[in-house]
Amino acid sequence: MTAKTTAAGVPYDVQGEMSDSERRDAAMRGFVREFGAVAAAHLESCVRCGMCAEACHFYISTGEPAYTPINKLQPFEQAYHRHAGPFAPIYRLLGIVPSVTIETLEEWERLIFDACTLCGRCTLACPMGIDIADLIKKARHGMFKAGLVPDRLQLMDRTARAWGSPATPADDFADIIRDTGEQFGVTMNIDLEKADYLLTVAPAELTDHTKALADAAKVFNKAGLSWTYHTEGFEASNIGYLNGDIDLQETMTRKIIDTAVRIGAHTLVLPECGHAYGAARWEAGRWYGDKLPVRIIHMTEFLQEVVASRKIKLNRVGQSASFHDPCQLVRRGGVMQAPRDVLKALGFEIKELENHGALSWCCGGGGGVVSNSRADPIRYKAFELKQREVDAAGADRFVTACGQCRITLTLGAKHFKWDRKVENLLELVADNLAD
């Protein structure tokens, strides 16, 4: 792994031993795999109207034209026209569309990884209905093959491959669960042979935020459900989904789903993590088809279910709260009402942010950006958009339902010495369980 800069001073990292041309070819092959009718319909339709720029927090907060979403796809688009479009044979023959150069790829690493959180706000803005966020994710597959990924993400990839989780070796998982149970005085279920619910976790919960593990257990216990954590399938955050490592994405997805099936669970509950939802709920179909062997829900949906079915009762907090909508859960995931229902059950008066629901601003850290320190300056820029809206809404509490969002927002608050605490919905529920 080496950090370099292009002639123009743009930083990029490279991994693996490859010549420039091998690297470029590897990227092209990675891109080429993604080209089909769906990518075609999108890549053929752009009218260069620039509307997508107006949606992207990185463009809005910096005014930097390079952050225009469709611009982030430039090499991917070029590869499409050269290798897969309806006129590709002619373009190649006449050299109308040249091959993408290694320099372009190096330069675009920053735009594809640092400057995109895969938040999908641009997709909502594009009048042609181009799913730019999805295309950028596809472009990452090629970049990964070429070893053109930010080192920080690559590091997590390696760890996840070796340990089964970017946070901790799988061997330690059971211990962490037991210790946490003891620490918080909660009965934990680990590695049960049979359970109705398989509960999964996100990396931060295994290090700094172990309370979330206990909170989840607390709610499940209270609801009187049959559930378990399981060493063979516990890590739901899917680094492969973020950094373009499609093989790792498959491994991570299969681990949790197959484990759920093995222990006879009818439901796989994902932790408060947006990308976990995107990867397991909406992309498991890559390997399982459109009939998933197990029901997959997000923690927020689970909370809504147990509240609605009165399996748990909640104390009313009686304050006002603003909710930060995690992109992968709400905009890209379609879970918009559930968190609000739970907040209402907690007796909160909801003071919506100016941009909320599907149109909410991204926290600025999704898509691996929060783990990629190179992107810190623009991440803080993007954070300011959120900060302004939260201040304007003036609610007592500021709540979200994604650990990554919470970390990003907390880092932002620290950076700007902003005295707002960011809370997770699960924690609020667990802390306010009524008898």
Partner 1 sequence: MTLLDFARGPALQAALIIFVLGAVWRIVGALTAPWRLVPANPREGALSPAVAALKGVFVKMWPHKPFQQAGLFTFVNGYVFHFGLAIVVLLFTPHILFIKGLTGLNWPGLPSNLIYMVAVITGASLIAGLVHRLRSPVLQLISRNDDYLSWLLTFLPVVTGLLATSHLGARYETLLALHILSICAFLIWFPFGKLMHAFLFVFSRGMTGVRMGQRGAEL
Partner 2 sequence: MQRSQTLGEILDSRGVSRRAFLKYASYVSALMALPAGSAAAMAEGLAAARRQSVIWLSFQECTGCTESLTRSFSPTLESLIFDFISLDYHHTLQAASGEAAEKARETAMAENKGKYIVVVDGAVSTKDGGLYSTIAGVANVDMLRASVKDALAVIAVGTCAAFGGIPKARPNPTGAAPVDEIVTDKPVINIPGCPPIPEAMAGVISYLVSFGKLPELDDLRRPKAFFGETIHDRCYRRPFYERGLFADGFDDAGARQGYCLYKVGCKGPVTYNSCATLKWNGGVSFPIQSGHGCLGCSEPDFWDQGGFYRPLSTSLRDLGPALAGAAVAGAALGAGAAWASRRHQAAYVKEQAASEGGKK
Enumerate binding residues for partner 1 (CB under 8 A).
Answer: 34-42, 44-51, 53-55, 59, 65-66, 68, 70-71, 84-87, 123-131, 134, 281-286, 289-292, 296, 330-336, 355, 357-359
**DSSP codes joined into one string, 389-434:** HHHHHT-SEEEES-HHHHHHHHHHHHHTT----EEEHHHHHHHTEE
Q: Alpha-carbon Rg of the chain, whole angstroms?
A: 22
Q: Does 26 contact partner 2 by CB under 8 A?
A: yes
Q: Give the CA count within 13 Å in the CB-facing half-sphere of 161.
A: 12
**Closest among 24, 63, 36, 292 to 143, alpha carbons compared:** 24
Say how far apart CA 206 and CA 137 lie, in whole Å.
Answer: 27
Are the C-beta atoms of 22 and 102 separated by less than 8 Å?
A: no
Checking 106-110 for CB contacts under 8 A at 24+ apart, the result is 106/4, 106/6, 106/10, 106/12, 106/14, 106/148, 107/6, 107/8, 107/10, 107/12, 108/72, 108/74, 108/75, 108/143, 109/12, 109/13, 109/143, 109/148, 109/149, 109/150, 110/10, 110/11, 110/12, 110/374
**What is the tally of helices (H) and strands (E) in the chain?**
22, 12
- Give φ, ψ of 128 to 5 degrees: -90, 0
Tell me which of ligand SF4, partner 2, partner 1, none is bound by residue 56, counting a contact when its beta carbon lies within the kind-specific cut-off of 5 to 8 angstroms.
ligand SF4
Name which of residues 133 to 172 contact partner 2 (CB under 8 A): 145
Provide the residue type at 134 as one letter: D
Tell me which of partner 1, partner 2, ligand SF4, none is bound by residue 203, counting a contact when its beta carbon lies within the kind-specific cut-off of 5 to 8 angstroms.
none
Instruction: Work out how close the CB of 254 gets to partner 2 at its nearest, in angstroms, rounded to a whole number.
Output: 20
Cα–chain-centroid distance for residue 428? 22
Angle at 215 between CA 212 and CA 217, to 5 degrees: 115
Tell me which of partner 1, ligand SF4, partner 2, none is bound by residue 119, counting a contact when its beta carbon lies within the kind-specific cut-off of 5 to 8 angstroms.
ligand SF4
Instruction: Work out how close the CB of 364 gets to ligand SF4 at its nearest, in angstroms, rounded to a whole number.
Output: 8
In a 3-state reduction of DSSP, which class is residue 228? strand
Measured from the CB atom, is 296 or 393 closer to partner 1? 296
Tell me which of ligand SF4, partner 2, partner 1, none is bound by residue 117, counting a contact when its beta carbon lies within the kind-specific cut-off of 5 to 8 angstroms.
ligand SF4
Measured from the CB atom, is 44 or 172 closer to partner 1? 44
State the sign of the Cα–Cα–Cα–Cα dihedral 85, 13, 167, 338. Answer: negative
The pattern of x and - marking residues 282 through 311 that bind partner 2 according to CB under 8 A reads ------------------------------
Q: Does 88 contact partner 2 by CB under 8 A?
A: yes
Measured from the CB atom, is 92 or 295 closer to partner 2? 92
Among 32, 51, 261, 292, binds partner 2 (CB under 8 A): 32
Are the C-beta atoms of 55 and 117 separated by less than 8 Å?
A: no
Instruction: Work out how close the CB of 144 gets to partner 1 at its nearest, in angstroms, rounded to a whole number.
Output: 17
Instruction: Work out how close the CB of 281 gets to ligand SF4 at its nearest, in angstroms, rounded to a whole number.
Output: 18
Instruction: Work out how close the CB of 1 gets to partner 2 at its nearest, in angstroms, rounded to a whole number.
Output: 18
Instruction: Work out how close the CB of 48 gets to partner 1 at its nearest, in angstroms, rounded to a whole number.
Output: 5
Checking 220-224 for CB contacts under 8 A at 24+ apart, the result is 221/186, 221/187, 222/311, 222/312, 222/433, 223/306, 223/311, 223/312, 224/311
Q: How far is CA 372 from CA 248, 363, 377, in A?
A: 19, 14, 11
Measured from the CB atom, is 26 or 402 closer to partner 2? 26
Instruction: Work out how close the CB of 6 gets to partner 1 at its nearest, in angstroms, rounded to a whole number.
Output: 17
Among 1, 10, 11, 33, binds partner 2 (CB under 8 A): 33
Among 21, 38, 65, 89, binds partner 2 (CB under 8 A): 89
Are the C-beta atoms of 296 and 280 separated by less than 8 Å?
A: yes
Tell me which of ligand SF4, partner 2, partner 1, none is bound by residue 358, counting a contact when its beta carbon lies within the kind-specific cut-off of 5 to 8 angstroms.
partner 1
Q: Determine the interface stretch with partner 2 among 18-26, 171-179, 223-231, 390-398 (rule: CB under 8 A).
A: 18-26
Measured from the CB atom, is 323 or 348 closer to partner 1? 323
Measured from the CB atom, is 53 or 370 closer to partner 1? 53
Q: Does 248 contact partner 2 by CB under 8 A?
A: no
Q: Does 20 contact partner 2 by CB under 8 A?
A: no
In a 3-state reduction of DSSP, which class is residue 196? coil
**Residues at the interface with ligand SF4 (CB under 6 A):** 46-52, 55-56, 58, 69-70, 72, 116-122, 125-126, 128, 130, 132-133, 136, 362
Extract the tokens encoding 225: 């459900």
Chain residues binding partner 2 by CB under 8 A are 22, 25-26, 28-29, 32-33, 35, 83-89, 145
